[in-house]
Amino acid sequence: MSYSDPLDIRSQERTQAEAEERALLAAQIEIDDVKWLMSNKRGRRFMARLLERAGVWRLSFNTNALTMAFNEGTRNEGLRLLAQITAHCPDRYTEMLKESKE
């Protein structure tokens, strides 16, 4: 068990800065992974199927509240992926849509 001194402000700031740096690195790795996946036709096919299964392009409404909550959660994750794709590789998104029509 580690002890941290609540009065040691510099240590707290250093810990906070390290946590922020790790978070930025993790975010950049995730962006790079999406770019890598979308750079390949197989990856774009996989992502198109994933977005379709997530229900990105359909309503999540259901008369059963629990089913609707589940659908919305799945759709939300798909929308998060879609936002990453359109933000970091929009040309590949267009390419994916064209390829999925073929």
Tens-place pLDDT, residues 42-52: 999 999 999 99
User: What pLDDT digit, counting tens, does each position of 5-33 carry?
Assistant: 778 889 889 999 999 999 999 999 999 99
CA distances from 94 to 10, 29, 100 (A): 48, 23, 10
Tell me the whole-structure pTM to 2 decimals.
0.81
Q: Which of 20, 29, 38, 16 is nearest to 89 (CA)?
A: 38
CA 89 to chain centroid = 13
| Angstrom distance (rounded) from CA 93 to CA 81 | 11
